[in-house]
Structure 1
Amino acid sequence: MTLKLNPEAKAIYRSIREEIKKRLVLPGSSSFLDMFEPTSDREEILRRQDYLSRNLPKISPELREQVARVKPVKFRRDYLHDRILIVDDDEIERAGELGLCEVSTNPEDSEGYPLVLSTIGYGIDVEPVPSQVAPELYIMPLWENRETLDALARIGELTGEGSVAPEILSKLEKLGEVMERRKLLDSLEELIAERERELNEEIEEKLEKFSLTLSGKELLDFLGELKAGNYEAIFRHFGEVEGEILDLINEAENQLSESLGITVELFSREELYPVTVPPERVEMLREELERELKVELYLKSREVLERIMPLLPRLKEELGRVHELDFLLAVRNFAEGFSFPELWEGGMAFVNGRHIFIENPQPVSYVVGKRPEGFNVSGSENVQDERIVILTGANSGGKTSLLELITQIEILFHMGLPVPAERAWVEPLDELFFFRRKRSAYGAGAFETALRSFVRALKGSGRKLILIDEFEAITEPGAAVKIIGELLKIAHEKGFYVVIVSHLGEDLRKELPFARVDGIEARGLDERLNLIVDRQPVFGKLGRSTPELIVESLARKKRGKEREIFERVLRAFR
């Protein structure tokens, strides 16, 4: 049963939702907030309170840090062009429906594919299922999200619920070598160019260090060949140096072979200095390496997937749980210092409530209806079962803010969330109406619209709380007393709860003996003649109006004839 809210109350509900959503760190976590829409169901409210009271204390700052590290793990379903699946005629339709790669019944069609998979003993044997045809589509998202898995493992430790993430991470380690080689493939040109540069530097160093004794004729022949640019002359005369250079080339190729996991022969043995690698050889190496890595990655992924496939359902549950934790973290942050209200029959009351959207608000305690035990607030001793309350007092004293605070506490209670008060008692409602004063709306049209809204709120029966902010602002004071008086009599007869902000408290008190009149006191003027306002309403006492204090301030500031006039006006108040 959803709590019915009028538009102004819904606006406050949306503001509360936005405050909580701002604290969420993961996309999709707001779906948990949708499960906490305001409800009138007493048992559902208790269930939500129990759920939050059990889980919120477990939330810690480190847990928030780990939740923020979690990213979505999305298992892709791509079409892979690097493989072909060879099947018999009976399996062609089933295999084609996978939509993962090319499928054929003719082995000759496999020419040119790095990966040839088959159900008929040709190529790598597979079953026509996604986990065998394309295991990388499962494994690569896990490999790319190892930080998420690491965070899940830590979250499992912090919550005491454990996790399958450590086991998955352990199995993924088998991919480490092939993934390192894939990284080298991405920078193959740079890797070869760097090795070529280092090799030429080493050869230059060798050439600079050699020495040899020559006869006169040999020296002249050597210098002539050298002048002609025939560096091979060096190696004909210096076979020992040539052997050393060949050793350097072999060593460089062996190092590349070890790094890339494939036999490499790149450098020419015909021209030993400077050594160069033709671009076509680099491209041939790249193609060969890509083929090797595709096969190796496929085989490793298939091996790992067979071991972790049973763990994936639990992993999915853990990822869903993280969204739940994100929601709990947001609620914990939003509701810092809040308390769970007690379910109450007889209205609502709260001690030291704080307006959510006011910075450093003055705590306020209030009661509408019966005063519960434990509501030990000064001045509330004589509060009876007064369902109709008229709130009076100073302008800018916090009357409208109090109506907003009441609405916030009611909505949070019906959401099952803690409320911004040290202690609270709230009766489940069927409907909540908040009629905010619209400063720009005056005239017959505004009056008619407001009156119709109030009458709709009074229709029917059930548990209702109606909050009205200065109805008289849109009509004449004399008419307002009569209209408000009758509307409040109807509300009283039907057992509804009403709090109405009004400057007509004196007149309404005469009309409505069953109503309680509270006042937010402007206690006086400070040494600079500024208003001193106590935002805590005084129960059962008419609030002193702001105009009186403004006149008093002017009377004390002015001199001469002006002061005499202000003092005379002030005496009229008294």
Structure 2
Amino acid sequence: MRLRGDARDIYRAIRRRIEGEIKVERAKEFLKNIEPTSDKGEILRRQEYFKRAFSSVDEKLEEVIMKVRPIRFRREFLTDRVLIVSEEEVEEAEKLGLCLVSTEPVEGYDLVLSTIGYGIDVELKPHDIAPELYVKPLWENRDVLKALATLFPGGVSGKILESLAELEDVFKRLEAIEKLEERIREEEARLNRRIEERLEKFKLTLSGRELVEFIKSLKSGDIDLILSKFSTLNDEILEEIRKSEERISKEIGVDLEIFPREYPVEVPPEVIERLRETIEREVKLELYLKSREVLAEILPYLPRLKEEIEKAYELEFIIALKRFSKNFTFPRIEEGGIGFVEGRNIFIDNPQPISYFVGRAKGPFKGVKETNVVILTGANSGGKTSLLELMLQIVILAHMGLPVPAREAWVEVLDEVFFFKRKRTNYTAGAFETSLKSMVKSLKGKGRKLLLIDEFEVITEPGAAVKILAELLRIGLSKGFYIVVVSHLGEDLMKELPEARVDGIEAKGLDESLNLIVDRQPKFGVVGKSTPELILERLARKGRGEEREILMKVLRRLK
């Protein structure tokens, strides 16, 4: 369905309302799939889909969905490995762009992969040469996989998580290696504190002469006792060092002897770096080998994993649409015009429900004059423009296959919708010419069209406007177009075009705050009086002095 004139603005405003309900940015992309269409079959298909989806969706799952994000598999140049290939395989290997390529053995790399019997044998496939590029992103996004497993029990996410569990130990070791220096410094500080505490408890302060005299006075066996005290202290310090090394060894997964057996305990940075490089090389090899095994298990699941992520976003889209369309109803898609019962303008807070139609009289409108051209008249600020917007909202949402803000509604499938909204500007001859050209363009050709026109007459003289507008409406009527036009020229247009129906919105008076009391529900077949006398009365009652006297004279004359 093509939206013309200001109809596009209403459609964009509806989209913004829906987008405001969507809490996951990627889910907004699904709006592209439900743009207004003139394909009746597609509209009905969408309606059935959304009916089923709304009835089965659990809105409580939205918090889980918000944890889902795309899992991106990085393509990067890995400099920690070299691939040894035969001469004829070099070009094919270079296309992979994942690691250095050579035809000769190369030392100095953590991993030496080969297709010709040197190092670890691999095939010329990215997932064999660099399986970590697939496995690491999955490991880093385990929270995403857990969320997907909750949303889709029995899906591929749960199976991938089971396979990744085989890598838990090696990844924990890699994390520990990254923090190796930090952990060594922590244990180093702790050791020095413990040694200081023990030394403080063991004090022996003697001069050389005092020591000689002291030794002479000792009985047999006393010297052995003192030396044993020093030995005990040394054993306790060594035990503390061994415990620190055991803790770090357990985290790394390799038995280590790190700390010097002297006080103060201090490990040089270069020693830590050499240690880290040695251990990391071993763990990287283990990660590579295990990653190949795990990837062989999960590789078939990856296409379906992408589908699960998209399904999660679609689920969020459904939840947002359900929230947006609370208390809406799916319209009947049938010929005979556009109508709705207790429709509510979604751009107005707490709107008065309105029932209205153009075309065939159905349901509660039985007995009302049937016509494809309706002239809506009545009070200023009575809600005439809002009614046009409401009808357009219902038409657009219906053509998107969505529920509409009404208790009941029926919509004929249309090819084009035109909305000519009254502009808040000074009208000139140029404005009249532009508006007239737009109106004529909307009446060209054939097809199923809806034209919504807001006060065409304000851009030219009232006398001319009646004749011009009446003839334009007559042309549209002859072509079977549906037209709703807001106008203050209802009585004159009735004389020019008796086939049309004139409806009216009337003001009943002023409330205690001097605001207009308006029943925004149009009365069918009744010309709605404008409200100049009520406006004058309000201004007069608010006015003072001579201003009030002038307004009262004008009001008496009008009455």
TM-score by length of 1: 0.89
1:301 counterpart residue number: 291
Pick one of 116, 125, 130 that aligns with 1:134.
Answer: 130
Pick one of 372, 378, 391 that aligns with 1:387.
Answer: 372
Q: Is the 8 A contact 1:347 1:368 kept in 2?
A: yes
3-state SS in 1 of match to 2:374 = strand
2:196 alignment partner AA: E
1:408 counterpart residue number: 393
Deviates more, 1:550-559 or 1:9-18: 550-559
Pick one of 384, 403, 409 that aligns with 1:424.
Answer: 409
1:457 aligns with 2:442: yes
2:506 counterpart residue number: 521
Q: Is the 8 A contact 2:420 2:453 kept in 1?
A: yes
3-state SS in 2 of match to 1:439 = coil
Q: Is the 8 A contact 1:370 1:383 kept in 2?
A: no
1:513 alignment partner AA: P
Q: Is the 8 A contact 2:79 2:99 kept in 1?
A: yes
Tell me the distance in 2 between the aligned counterparts of 1:444 and 1:564: 37
Q: 1:495 to 1:285 in 2, by over 3 A?
A: same
Tell me the distance in 2 between the aligned counterparts of 1:550 and 1:88: 94
Q: 1:541 to 1:112 in 2, by over 3 A?
A: same
Q: 1:561 to 1:319 in 2, by over 3 A?
A: closer
1:447 counterpart residue number: 432
Q: 1:222 to 1:445 in 2, by over 3 A?
A: farther
Question: What do the CA deviations read for 1:515-557 (whole angstroms, capped 9, x no partner)?
Answer: 1111111111223443101111111111121102223446777
1:172 alignment partner AA: L
Tell me the distance in 2 between the aligned counterparts of 1:65 and 1:561: 65
- Structure 1 portions without partners, runs of 5+: 224-233
Question: What do the CA deviations read for 1:32-62 (whole angstroms, capped 9, x no partner)?
Answer: 2112121111111111111111112222222
3-state SS in 1 of match to 2:503 = strand
1:325 counterpart residue number: 315
1:201 counterpart residue number: 193
Question: What do the CA deviations read for 1:88-113 (whole angstroms, capped 9, x no partner)?
Answer: 23322222221110111211x2x110
3-state SS in 2 of match to 1:534 = strand
2:239 counterpart residue number: 247
3-state SS in 1 of match to 2:523 = coil
Tell me the distance in 2 between the aligned counterparts of 1:421 and 1:284: 74
Q: 1:540 to 1:259 in 2, by over 3 A?
A: same
Tell me the distance in 1 between the aligned counterparts of 2:335 and 2:61: 38
Deviates more, 1:129-138 or 1:182-191: 182-191
1:361 aligns with 2:351: yes
Q: 1:556 to 1:32 in 2, by over 3 A?
A: closer
Q: 1:309 to 1:567 in 2, by over 3 A?
A: same
1:69 counterpart residue number: 67
2:176 counterpart residue number: 184
Question: What do the CA deviations read for 1:167-209 (whole angstroms, capped 9, x no partner)?
Answer: 2112211222222222222322221111112212222333344
1:231 counterpart residue number: none
Q: 1:546 to 1:89 in 2, by over 3 A?
A: same
Tell me the distance in 1 between the aligned counterparts of 2:129 and 2:534: 84
Aligned 1:141-540 pairs, distance under 5 A: 141-157=137-153, 162-210=154-202, 219=211, 238-269=230-261, 272-373=262-363, 376=364, 380-540=365-525
Tell me the distance in 2 between the aligned counterparts of 1:523 and 1:381: 26
How far 1:292 sits from its partner (Å)? 2.0
Question: What do the CA deviations read for 1:204-253 (whole angstroms, capped 9, x no partner)?
Answer: 33334448899985725999xxxxxxxxxx98983343333233323322
3-state SS in 1 of match to 2:80 = strand
Tell me the distance in 2 between the aligned counterparts of 1:241 and 1:564: 110
Tell me the distance in 2 between the aligned counterparts of 1:294 and 1:487: 80
Tell me the distance in 2 between the aligned counterparts of 1:8 and 1:222: 109
Tell me the distance in 1 between the aligned counterparts of 2:62 and 2:186: 44
Question: What do the CA deviations read for 1:390-422 (whole angstroms, capped 9, x no partner)?
Answer: 111111111111111111111111111111111
Deviates more, 1:394-403 or 1:50-59: 50-59
Question: What do the CA deviations read for 1:404-444 (whole angstroms, capped 9, x no partner)?
Answer: 11111111111111111111000111111100111214011
Q: 1:181 to 1:549 in 2, by over 3 A?
A: same
3-state SS in 2 of match to 1:128 = coil
How far 1:558 sits from its partner (Å)? 8.2
Q: Is the 8 A contact 2:369 2:501 kept in 1?
A: no
Q: 1:212 to 1:31 in 2, by over 3 A?
A: closer
2:30 counterpart residue number: 32
Deviates more, 1:125-134 or 1:446-455: 125-134
3-state SS in 1 of match to 2:446 = coil
How far 1:332 sits from its partner (Å)? 1.5
2:90 counterpart residue number: 92
Deviates more, 1:561-570 or 1:6-15: 561-570
1:123 aligns with 2:108: no
Tell me the distance in 2 between the aligned counterparts of 1:251 and 1:553: 91
RMSD (CA atoms): 2.7
Deviates more, 1:207-216 or 1:27-36: 207-216
Query: How high is the sequence identity, in percent, across the aligned residues?
Result: 59
Tell me the distance in 1 between the aligned counterparts of 2:393 and 2:16: 13
Tell me the distance in 2 between the aligned counterparts of 1:346 and 1:244: 97
Tell me the distance in 1 between the aligned counterparts of 2:541 and 2:426: 36
Q: Is the 8 A contact 1:346 1:385 kept in 2?
A: no
Question: What do the CA deviations read for 1:264-290 (whole angstroms, capped 9, x no partner)?
Answer: 222223xx2212111211111121122
Q: 1:220 to 1:523 in 2, by over 3 A?
A: farther
Deviates more, 1:201-210 or 1:405-414: 201-210
How far 1:447 sits from its partner (Å)? 0.5
Q: Is the 8 A contact 1:235 1:241 kept in 2?
A: no
Tell me the distance in 2 between the aligned counterparts of 1:200 and 1:558: 90
Tell me the distance in 1 between the aligned counterparts of 2:208 and 2:478: 133
TM-score by length of 2: 0.92
